[in-house]
Chains A and B, each alone.
Chain A
């Protein structure tokens, strides 16, 4: 460390800046955190006693957090006791008086004391250096979980196998032929036959009209307990603490491929040779600082290169677009991925799975209603259209007729029924989209609810007559009738996670039919080669194999 470095932390000024910016990212007071960290270092150096340290910030900590459970509490309480003259020997033990106890104190607190200031703020660690600090520090405070976990809910019955997500991913990340981070396949097994066979009974609701195939969409599952990360001999494969993305540090990976071996889903693709698109040829490389022209070819979060296609000799896989999540590609792309944006039938719902209001959560928890919202939203007339075309005293039929006859709207009784059913079913759950990123399902639901509210200004939709017209009088309970109506419209898919019994805790949830243990891939509605994708990468790799003989295999 240079002498002109004014930093209090032994790891220097740069480290402090990084910590400070980490504090800035939390909801807590950064200034207080840094002040405490500074004094915490003084505790380790013996300049300040633990009790004094605790006392100094006690009030502010109570104010900020509503509790003060710092590890120095014990020393503080001992000092309080001492002040009352009841336990003077306790002070010697804790206050670092004399060489032996001071050394003990320092040993006990060590770097941990420094982490008290930081750790109390529930900051998140990222990278090996931070995790090192966390290991030495009091764990319970430094590893508080982030409230963001990016993930997906994928509606397999909505997937029509168009492969748009695969091509979008390939373009976004400049992937080589055969490197299919996103992979879409059609499958069959004993109980679920594909489109080729007659008598397919899987397709039973109005809504599931998109594909006759059983589909599976397989991005990286960004597992909470990722086996790939556990086995990595380098920490290159890591989970970002701030948002739970499982990423590969292209600067650290040694290319042993153990992550590919350990992943039960087969989502990893090794960069066996130089990438087809050279680093220099990636779009946007001209001005990496310009957010409109952002390159994520050598995207860095902190100091880690984790985004886009990998360089030669290291492992790559689906990243869930970290440059987007970090706002490097503009605020409007936060909470989206290339594949989600590209999906025509909105089968992929990406977002913060820990946020109840997010798209994946909504789609997972209320699949029937969310499907109806997604489908209805594009066609539903706006509240303005309702206001300008419907007048008081109109019957439901008149109102529908009036709106339907205008140029800018189509409406029929079914749409009103579904909209009303959505309104009924959303009474008991979260309806505010909140400030989460791109919580589009709830936003779309708002549009539907606005329409219902506007219409109800003029027409009583819950009168017996209206309910009969809307077919919402099937049972005595309005909620049950609404649910049945929605299920008739959108189906009631079951949800599952892939290979749940392996214990990876994936962050991708599927709606639809789960492939059984003997399921096998079949040719899907769109052929890979028709959209310039290569399915079997080995065909490409074999061309470069020294001494390759066609058709010979172990």
Chain B
């Protein structure tokens, strides 16, 4: 650990510098996004036929594919991000305070990418407002897709509120050192601010965090998102109560990995060795190992349930999934990462930030692969498995692959823009690390004397 004392100047550095590397990164991210926007425009012009998708059944295709797989993956990253940040606040995990805001921003980015995927995936995105919102009061009773849109919107609002509220403290205190060109934005963000509200905001954020933690298993990646699949009776590869915990584990794995990569990038770019410390990476890596362990355990449960004396349809689906080389690859990546995390935990000299970075990339690749495969497997081995053309064929088209680049670009742009506007590390975190902020360690609610 560094002995350097974190300062306000440290967290202001991203805002007040402008480097060539930043421009190159910005250009690359923008290029990725624009390239996909052009591809999407082509898709809108020609129809979804330009994708590799098709009709399952007699048609011999896969109804959903990379778009939906990537959609649930991004939602997972987003949900995991906000859970991470909420846990830091709720459980007083002060060690991770410096990355709490990065996790919140990851949530905003992930949800934006996921929302974008909903549009990209539709045959008639122009009807989103009239058809979906116009019949919302009826469809919300039945359609898991509508529940999905509902919770994603709710979480966007929740996360943005969360982020917006905590930013008021920082902006009002650091205002003099922030660039004048964004003056109107800061003014709006700190409208009506007085120091008296700090305590209230603290409490509000605590409750928001509590809501996030409570809702995560019920409504987020432990609930509504897996229900999109698990509730359908016709696709044995998707069904089962294990999907809730499975999705939640994947969400947390992806989010922790994502936050580690982003933290690594910021630490490297702005010399934040003393802010985003090695200690944080070690801790995150352990959490990643924990959730990876859960993930592999759930996978084992799902597979055993299918292959050992399962009903015919589940057995076929489970056997096909296990036999798929991409599935084996994804599981191997997750398992090897878990082995590494275990080893570095018992022998700390095996740890390095680069290795943590590699582990994060491996997990993200594994979860994305698993997600896409999960979606496609459903169509390949349905209960009504009589068709000669089923299992069908599917391979993502160039446009679909490009969507991954585009959405990654979108999220990168979000970070690049936000980092020029507001501090991505909380002032609270700096104050806390310096020890000058008398932040009571207990929760904001005073303990009740029984």
Chain A residues within CB distance 8 Å of chain B = 128, 131-132, 135, 178, 180, 183, 185, 187, 216, 227, 229-236, 252-258, 260-274, 312-315, 498-499, 502-503, 515, 517-522, 535-539, 541-542, 544-549, 552-554
Contact = CB atoms under 8 A, between A and B. Distances in A.
Interface string B121-153: 111110110111011011100111110010000
Contacts of B388: 185, 520-522, 535
A498 B61 CA distance: 22
Interface residues of B, number: 73
Given A272-B54, A541-B49, A553 B234 contact: no
Contacts of A227: 232-234
A256 B47 contact: no
Contact of A546 (B50, B235, B382): B50
A538 B60 contact: yes
Contacts of B383: 264, 499, 502
B389 A255 contact: no
A535 B389 contact: yes
Given A256-B123, A503-B233, A313 B131 contact: no
Contacts of B127: 234, 252-254
A118 to B, nearest CB: 19
Given A234-B135, A235-B135, A254-B132, A537 B124 contact: no
B54 A271 contact: no
Nearest to A263: B234
A235 B139 contact: yes
Contact of A256 (B122, B130, B387, B401): B122
Contact of B61 (A231, A517, A541): A541
Contact of B63 (A254, A261, A312): A261
Given A538-B60, A545-B49, A545-B52, A256 B121 contact: yes
Nearest to A501: B233
A499 B385 CA distance: 11
Interface of B: 39, 42, 46-64, 121-125, 127-128, 130-132, 134-135, 137-139, 142-146, 149, 232-235, 312-313, 324, 326, 372-373, 376, 378-379, 382-390, 392-399, 401
A185 B123 CA distance: 29
Given A233-B143, A233-B145, A233-B149, A547 B398 contact: yes
- What 8 pairs between A and B have smallest CB-CB spacing? A255-B123, A266-B57, A547-B398, A313-B123, A264-B234, A521-B388, A537-B59, A553-B393
Contacts of B233: 227, 264, 502-503
B58 A183 contact: yes
Contacts of A180: 58
Nearest to B393: A553
28 contacts: A132-B138, A135-B138, A230-B143, A235-B139, A236-B131, A253-B123, A256-B123, A256-B145, A257-B64, A264-B383, A266-B58, A270-B63, A272-B47, A499-B384, A517-B312, A518-B312, A519-B386, A520-B388, A521-B388, A535-B388, A537-B54, A538-B393, A541-B54, A546-B42, A552-B395, A553-B395, A554-B62, A554-B395
Contacts of A535: 58, 388-389
Contacts of A502: 233-234, 383
A262 to B, nearest CB: 5
B336 to A, nearest CB: 22
B330 to A, nearest CB: 12
Contacts of B379: 261
Nearest to B238: A261
A139 to B, nearest CB: 14
Contacts of A518: 312, 385
A433 to B, nearest CB: 36
Contacts of A272: 47-49, 53-54
A128 B130 CA distance: 13
